[in-house]
Chains A and B, each alone.
Chain A
Amino acid sequence: MDTSLLIIQTLNGIQLGLLLFLVASGLTLIFGILDFVNLAHGSLYMVGAFFCATLTFALGSFPLAVLIALPLTGLVGYGVERFVARKLYAKDHLQHVLGTFGLILVFDTLTHMIWGPQGISIPLPAWLDTQVTLMKDVVFPTYRLLIIVSGLVCAAGLYWLVNHTRLGMLIRAGASNRTMVSALGIDIKTLFALVFAIGAMLAGLAGMLIAPITEAKIGMGNEVIITAFVVIIVGGIGSVKGAFIAAILIGLIDTLGRSFLDDVFKLFMSSSAAETSAPAISAMLIYLLMALILAFRPQGLFPPMVR
């Protein structure tokens, strides 16, 4: 194992972690404040990617498409809150899981009907489709670097929003004591809708950022949502800081596992058996981590203050 490969794989891990954070941060806010389990959060990730793909072809510019697709995805998120989620708040988690499971099926099938089964590749502008040399032997795709930067900017923005604004104060208050906030005469409905829309935009942004690498694809949200749940559970529900740390941790475990675990396995099993098991075992590590953390800290790394 050489150092430059390790550095590159670490960067890849951080990039994956930041994308996970974008999805998980919205999820943890919705969960923390609204006490609402939203499995369909991943569908907003998918919807964001498809909006962005269509707009990129219509407008001929990827950055412009992102700017317009963001509020559109937020609007879809608002719609979900207004017509589905709002009616479910009063029910228990079990009903949330099932109702939003149904919502996933609806989103996936509608996407299939509207955009067809094939998925869409998003072209990148030429200036992003290059590589940067960070140091000797460490050459990294420019676009992946952009994802890291955007992820960090979003994380910082969210930190500022939650800790230094009035909205953030309400969000924090709502997360620890909902009745109190409504007792203060705050329009709780608007607050909830706003949080939902912000969460949708964050998830949508993650979808838009990944689509030029993979593609806008039906069911892409279902792959990410379970991992995002692991992130918020490990981090502690409602904690944006926890989600950030857990997301990076899980991104690194997954990427480094895929990169180096097969070499380790080859020491004691055949090469083809190692190639089969290494990716599966590195995927398993994430769940192992979650089970271990919950076994010792039943409320995650950064449990909410008051529940």
Chain B
Amino acid sequence: MKKFIAAALAASMFTLPAFAAEVKVGFVTTLTTGGAVIGKDMENAVNLASAHMGGKMGELDLNVIFADDGFKPETGKQATDKLVKQDDVDFVTGYIWSHVLLASRKSVLDQGKFLISANAGPSEMAGKLCHENFFSTSWQNDQTPEAMGEVLNQQGVKSLYIMAPNYAAGKDMVAGVERTFKGEIKGKDLTKWGADAQLDFSAELAKAKASGAEGIFVFYPGAAAGAFVKQYQQAGLKDILPLYSVFTIDAISLPKLQAANFESVLGSKTTQQWDPSLKNEQNKRFVTEFKARYGSYPSFYAAQSYDAMFLIKSAVEAVGGDLTNKDGIRAALKTANYDSVRGKYTYGNNNFPIQNFYLREVVKDNDGNWTTRVASTVFENNQDSHAKDCSMN
């Protein structure tokens, strides 16, 4: 018991109100379990952004506090509570997983803080749960698969089998591709997700093959991507059941697939709002220096995290460092007046980006590394379909 008192008192000493002029940003991501591979990439991007800003936002020192969600909604919510209540951060950002973001949103918004998603874009938060203090630097979950559905229509694919993990984002992805794809859905499987996610897809792949579909649409982010692609190849499905994926074949999975020599992913296509090959100054600098510093291509998770930091910076500078001016910060965030690595975009009524979506293709770069490049533009200035359910104007 004495220890408890001592620890508690010691802790309270450390947290007397600090008067240093700084802006505190809480960054919630996955730093343990298999999901940590994504979290690491985001952390790298944030550190790079901080270096590019010289550690300052306007006159204020930048202080980023990273927190681990352990790939679980409950842990993520706890981590968020701590950032908001104990560290008293001004902005909370990060969030890879939709279910973690959904669990954590009230903890941030009820305290009047700003919440900026650097990845997750659950449909609920674009629609009826939209909030004036919530912004996204990524996309609404449905948009990317909607773009893929459109690509499938253009390519004349008549029937599809769908596989995705069984959590908030997985369900959004399925809804997205079903919304735009005009052909027949031959079947779908939602598999166990989380820290103990199902990674052996033998039964599902056998079903997909037997369904007679003309293609397979999948969403397997992070570590599951490698596992899926391998089994897809081992089952010999490349010529029978072409692969159309979103958020699966990316800068996280490609180095691993290249190391294991899975040639079959070369040439495969995926949709996205960003690509390392996009030609704007901010993106060139980001990609080049990320590669120089960390030795690999940045993923879209990294790009969105980098953007989130610069979006916050633009708002902090717009109010001249006066963090109590919430209305000013909100208005500045809404204008998206910063150099995004994806190029210029605007915010819709629900504070999700209205932006372009591209078809990307997996290629070898000049050094022989596997990466992606833009093949074509699928949607221009696309707004998500849930915006109409949002009561904000």
Contact = CB atoms under 8 A, between A and B. Distances in A.
A and B touch in the complex (CB under 8 A): yes
Interface string A106-128: 00000010001111111110000
Contacts of A8: 206, 210
B256 A120 contact: yes
A114 to B, nearest CB: 14
Contacts of B191: 279
B5 interface: no
Given A275-B188, A279-B190, A141 B234 contact: yes
A126 to B, nearest CB: 9
A138 to B, nearest CB: 10
Contact of B202 (A5, A144, A219, A262): A144
Contact of A130 (B37, B236, B261): B236
A61 to B, nearest CB: 13
Interface stretch (B192-200, B267-275, B332-340): B192-200
Interface stretch (B224-232, B322-330, B345-353): B224-232
B227 A2 contact: no
B259 interface: yes
Given A141-B235, A214-B200, A279 B256 contact: no
A152 B226 CA distance: 28
Contacts of A119: 34, 37, 223, 226, 256
Interface string A254-268: 011011001000000
Contact of A124 (B166, B200, B234, B235): B234
B212 to A, nearest CB: 11
B213 to A, nearest CB: 14
B34 to A, nearest CB: 5
A237 to B, nearest CB: 25
A152 to B, nearest CB: 18
A141 B234 CA distance: 6
Contacts of A180: none
B1 interface: no
B37 to A, nearest CB: 4
A275 B190 contact: yes
Contacts of A222: 196
Interface in B44-59: none
Given A130-B236, A143-B234, A255 B202 contact: yes
Contacts of B37: 116-119
A118 B233 CA distance: 21
Nearest to B228: A214
A213 B201 CA distance: 9
A219 B196 contact: yes
Given A217-B34, A218-B34, A121 B190 contact: no
Contact of B234 (A129, A217, A223): A129
A279 B231 contact: no
A4 interface: yes
Contacts of B171: 272
A163 interface: no
B11 interface: no
Nearest to A117: B36
A9 interface: yes
B33 interface: yes
Interface in A239-295: 255-256, 258-259, 262, 272, 275-276, 279-280, 283
A119 B39 CA distance: 14
B289 interface: no
Given A121-B257, A130-B236, A131-B235, A258 B196 contact: no
Interface residues of A, number: 48
B204 interface: yes
Nearest to A144: B202
Contacts of A139: 236
A63 interface: no
A15 B202 contact: yes
A121 B265 CA distance: 15
A124 B190 CA distance: 27
Contacts of B256: 118-121, 215
A162 B236 CA distance: 39
Interface string B227-260: 1001101111000000000000000100011011
Contacts of B195: 219
A200 interface: no
B29 to A, nearest CB: 12
A268 B210 CA distance: 23
B158 interface: no
Nearest to B185: A271
A214 B225 CA distance: 10
A123 B260 contact: yes
A215 B231 CA distance: 11
Q: Which of A210, A258, A262, A283 has the most CB of B within 10 A?
A: A258
A12 B206 contact: yes
A47 B168 CA distance: 32
Contact of B230 (A57, A121, A131, A219): A121
Contacts of A144: 202, 234
25 contacts: A2-B210, A4-B210, A5-B207, A8-B206, A8-B210, A9-B206, A12-B202, A116-B37, A117-B34, A118-B34, A124-B234, A141-B236, A144-B234, A213-B227, A215-B226, A215-B256, A217-B223, A219-B195, A219-B196, A255-B203, A258-B204, A259-B203, A259-B207, A279-B190, A280-B192
Interface of B: 31-34, 36-37, 39-40, 166, 171, 174, 188-192, 195-196, 198-200, 202-204, 206-207, 210, 223, 226-227, 230-231, 233-236, 252, 256-257, 259-262
Given A112-B32, A121-B259, 5 more contacts: A12-B202, A57-B259, A120-B256, A213-B200, A213-B231
Interface of A: 2, 4-5, 8-9, 12-13, 15-16, 57, 112, 116-124, 129-131, 139, 141, 143-144, 210, 212-215, 217-219, 222-223, 255-256, 258-259, 262, 272, 275-276, 279-280, 283
